[in-house]
Amino acid sequence: MHTNESRWRGSVVLFLPVAVLFAVFFALNPNGYRARIVARLLRTNNGPVVVPLPPNFQPRVPPGFKVSVFAAGFDEPRWLALAPNGDLFVADSGTGKVIVLRDSLVQGVNGSREIFADHLDLPFGIALHDDYVYVADTNELVRFRYDPRTSTRLGGAEHVLDLPGLGYHQHWTRSLAFSSDGKRLFVSVGSRTNVSIESDSRRAAILVADPDGRNMQIYASGLRNAVGIAFNPESGDLWATVNERDDLGEDVPSDFFTHVVAGGFYGWPYSYLGRHIDNRVAARPDLVSKAITPDVLLGAHVAPLEFAFYEKQQFPSPYWHGAFVAEHGSWNRRIRSGYQVIFIPFRDGHPSGKPQSFFSGFVPDPAGKQVYGRMVGVAVAEDGSLLISDDGQKLIWRVSYEPSSSAMQQARANDTQRSFGEAVEAAFDNIRRRIHLSAIKTV
């Protein structure tokens, strides 16, 4: 009896210091580790299972639009880039190849295809500038001299920039965009972890350099994973789709779409959506106070990837100048979100309405595991149709506008009504300006 009591007391003596240390650890939350441990224990893992398309499956699109398969037979089609001659460049990331689809629109399907470059390391972003095709591997930016008339490669890979490779989950992607004047090349690099203070300042940032890779610097930071980047043709602003952090909850925080300013800080890892504190890292109130609130919230964990501004006129006028955004879909929510292409209306270079579903129907049961596809890349073809890469079904979809006569009549009526409303609004603006000027003269 005495022996058992001595053992019990000895166990208590050993256990108490450990318990005290744990209590102090959880109370102080040093460097955010307590919050990280708790968040990880509560994580929802609900990855999708891509299944074959049902017979006669048709994605959901607005009335008047038609969907067809543009090209198939890929391994992992992701980023899409349209060449000046109308050919389509496709990053088939899983095979380490960039494929060019020539004669891109012949009766709504692609013509011939050719491997433009291979033996690449997870290629993703593609940009065409002057006589070069730029390709972003996960750890290096390279370029190939090519013939813009035929999309034929004329030389081997030329090194442009070293990049930090791989990263948290799908953060191996590196995206590219050239400024409208062609003088600056922008590269997005995702974070190494879900949430931590990076030792490499090039991560969770958008970089900018000369086209030959010289004079590289950080353009904007605090962007956890800006997968899609592109310039708005109307405003000239750089825009980005950003995948926000995990393990804060199924509905927090929202992924977003925002314009990006030089020197801007967007919160990661210290805060999200402006000044909402993330206590899983050591506090930096000086940086949080500067955090920029994004323009458009897309919803939690929808995983927005490539986007494209619509500058053609095949689609009805409400779509002109707006943005189509591919959402790859959630893996850490019980109820699935994303798995579609959304449309965000723009006016005068700025968002003018809420995001709306445009291309969907790939989740038969949001509470189930199965999905029919996962959207990645978006490009606007020369004829004004929309091309969408789906790395779940390993193909590229095409969406065109082919309205019935009744739909055309309704579209014309809507355009007339909108034009009348805009004319009335302009008239009232003119009256207000005159009143304002008269008041100034009176004073």
Domain count, the chain: 3
Altogether, the residues listed in the chain come to a count of 443
Is the pLDDT at 420 greater than 60? The verdict is no
* pLDDT level of residue 112 (50, 70, 90 thresholds): confident
CA distances from 420 to 416, 417, 431 (A): 6, 5, 17
Rounded Cα gap, residues 174 and 206, in angstroms: 10
Instruction: With a cut of 60, say whether residue 31 has pLDDT above it.
Output: no
- Alpha-carbon distance of 407 to 411, in angstroms, equals 6
What is the CA 23 to chain-centroid distance, rounded? 41
Sequence letter at residue 111: G
Label residue 36 left, alpha or beta by phi (over 0 means left) and psi (-120 to 50 means alpha).
alpha
pLDDT (0 to 100) of residue 81: 98
- Specify whether 258 is located in the same domain as 325: yes
Which residues lie below 8 Å from residue 215, measured CB to CB, with a gap of 6+?
209
- Alpha carbon 261 to chain centroid, angstroms: 17
Q: What is the pLDDT of residues 61-99, one digit of tens each?
A: 999 999 999 999 999 999 999 999 999 999 999 999 999
Co-location of 320 and 440 in the same domain:
no
**Is 441 found in the same domain as 359?**
no
Is 100 in the same domain as 86? yes
Q: In a 10 Å sphere around its CB, with 0-12 CB exposed, 13-18 middle and 19+ buried, how is residue 72 labelled?
A: middle
Q: List residues bridging with 399 in a β-sheet.
A: 67, 386
Q: Are 274 and 254 in the same domain? A: yes
The answer on 427 and 282 residing in a single domain is no
Q: How far apart are CA 305 and CA 108, in angstroms?
A: 25
Angstrom distance (rounded) from CA 150 to CA 171 = 33
1-10 mean pLDDT = 59
Q: Give φ, ψ of 92 to 5 degrees.
A: -90, 80
Q: What is the mean pLDDT of the chain?
A: 87
Q: Are residues 118 and 227 in the same domain?
A: yes
Most confident of 14-18, 40-44, 285-289: 285-289
Contacts of 209 (CB under 8 A, 6+ apart): 160, 161, 184, 185, 187, 215, 216, 217
Write down the pLDDT at residue 32.
52
- At 324 the pLDDT is 99
Q: Which two tokens stand for residue 301?
A: 């964990």
Q: From CA 344, how far away is CA 358, in angstroms rounded? A: 10
Q: Is the pLDDT of residue 107 over 70?
A: no
Q: Parallel, antiparallel, or unpaired for β 217-221 and 276-277?
A: unpaired
Burial of 433 (0-12, 13-18, 19+ CB in 10 A): exposed
Structural element, H or E, at residue 416 = helix 405-442
Split at pLDDT 50, 70, 90, the class of 414 is low
Asked if 298 and 344 touch (Cβ cutoff 8 Å), the reply is no
In whole angstroms, what is the distance from residue 292 CA to residue 58 CA? 40
In a shared domain, residues 71 and 214: yes
In this predicted structure, the answer to whether residue 183 has a pLDDT above a threshold of 60 is yes
Average pLDDT for 208-218: 98
Structure tokens given for 77? 């089609």
Tell me the residue range of the domain where 33 lies. Answer: 2-41
Beta bridge partner(s), residue 135? 126, 142
User: Are 392 and 51 within 8 A, CB to CB?
Assistant: no
Question: Quick one: average pLDDT of 29-41?
Answer: 54
Is pLDDT above 90 for 5?
A: no
Note whether 37 and 58 are same-domain residues: no
Note whether 196 and 300 are same-domain residues. yes
The confidence score (pLDDT) of residue 442 equals 35
If asked whether residues 345 and 420 sit together in one domain, one would say no
CA distances from 396 to 156, 162, 289, 332, 346 (A): 27, 30, 43, 26, 26
User: What is the amino acid identity at position 264?
Assistant: G
Q: What is the pLDDT of residue 428?
A: 42
The answer on pLDDT for 306 being more than 90 is yes
**182 vs 435: which has the higher pLDDT:** 182
Q: How far is CA 112 from CA 90, 102, 106, 313, in A?
A: 13, 5, 10, 26
The answer to whether residues 245 and 162 touch, using CB atoms and an 8 Å cutoff, is no
The answer on 64 and 169 residing in a single domain is yes
d(CA 60, CA 178): 33
Q: In three state form, how does the secondary structure of 102-117 look?
A: CCCCECCECCCEEEEE
